[in-house]
Amino acid sequence: MTEPGSPVEEVLDVREVDITRAGSVLLSAVSLRIRAGEHWALLGPNGAGKSTLLSLAGARVHPSRGEVHVLGHRLGRVDMRSLRTRLGHVDPRHQVQRPLPLRDVILSGLDNTPEPDPRRVLSDDQLSRVETLAASVDLGHRLDRTWTQSSQGERTRALIARALVPQPQLLLLDEPATGLDLAGREQLLSGLARVASTTPGLASITVTHHLEDLPPHTSHALLLKQGRVLCAGPVDDVLDSESVSDCFDLPVSLSRVDGRWLARSRSADAALAR
């Protein structure tokens, strides 16, 4: 068994998993294997099971059938609360109840609590890490700005830094571009690219509805439809017009420029051509 905190080569191993809740099948025969340093996109329409699969990866739910190994530990045979401290989870809907400075929001990631523990004595290394992470997501000059004064883009980037403070091996991004304008999205993606380049062993999963929101360093993709894996693998093998059209039940044309994706409806293109 992997020792707590030890780096692992395989950060997630989902084996033929079903999840059933209240008689509804949320996931069926899902398998997924993610190795250190891989950056996965998880795509699919509403109700496809993306959030459920992310909850499995985040050690928040158990499968109804099958096995899930997170950072080398099988769910059901490990303290899930302890395991979650080794995962970074970014949810832009995260609530901060008081007007905390962004520095304190980031520091709260040390204990995965709503606010920093006032009893904790911070080391110079920990304080330096906060400064470094804030700079990596372009917040180095805004650490004294409060949560309530910050834009949605600044809040999301602060939450990314917060998730990275405990040096996780797997970063989970749940629709991180939600509520962002064009400038906010581009700043977010630039920050994620810098994090990936400076943390080569970090793996990530990004859940999104929009291919335009995918980071350019995305290496792999999984298309989920009605709780089943439609296809999964290296991003260039998975993200093509035919597969994406099948996944979303909409004929689309998919293109990629400078590492970024664009999906357009073929019916809209045809209408414009008339």
The per-residue pLDDT for 271 is 45
Give pLDDT tens digits for 184-227: 999 999 999 999 999 989 999 999 988 999 999 999 999 999 99
The fourth-level CATH superfamily of domain 1-86+168-239 is P-loop containing nucleotide triphosphate hydrolases (3.40.50.300)
The per-residue pLDDT for 98 is 86
| Helix (H), strand (E) counts: the chain | 9, 12
Report the relative pairing of strands 24-35 and 10-21 from DSSP bridges: antiparallel
Examine the pLDDT at 238 and tell me if it is beyond 80: yes
Examine the pLDDT at 240 and tell me if it is beyond 50: yes
Higher pLDDT, 59 or 1: 59
The per-residue pLDDT for 267 is 67
The per-residue pLDDT for 12 is 97
CA-CA distance, 56 to 31, in Å (whole number)?
A: 12
CA-CA distance, 254 to 249, in Å (whole number)?
A: 14
pLDDT band (50, 70, 90) for residue 272: very low
Give pLDDT tens digits for 81-105: 888 888 999 988 888 888 899 999 9
The per-residue pLDDT for 219 is 96
The per-residue pLDDT for 245 is 95
The per-residue pLDDT for 120 is 80
pLDDT band (50, 70, 90) for residue 38: very high
The per-residue pLDDT for 51 is 92
Mean pLDDT across the chain: 89
Strand order across the 220-225 sheet = 87-90, 170-174, 203-208, 39-43, 220-225, 228-234
Give pLDDT tens digits for 123-154: 888 888 889 999 999 998 899 999 999 999 99
The per-residue pLDDT for 118 is 80
Higher pLDDT, 18 or 270: 18
Give pLDDT tens digits for 156-182: 999 999 999 989 999 999 999 988 899
The per-residue pLDDT for 6 is 66
Examine the pLDDT at 42 and tell me if it is beyond 50: yes
Which part of the chain has CATH 3.40.50.300?
1-86+168-239
What b/e sequence results for 28-54 when a residue is b if at least 16 CB atoms lie within 10 Å of its CB, and e otherwise?
bebebebebbbbbbbbbeeebbbebbb
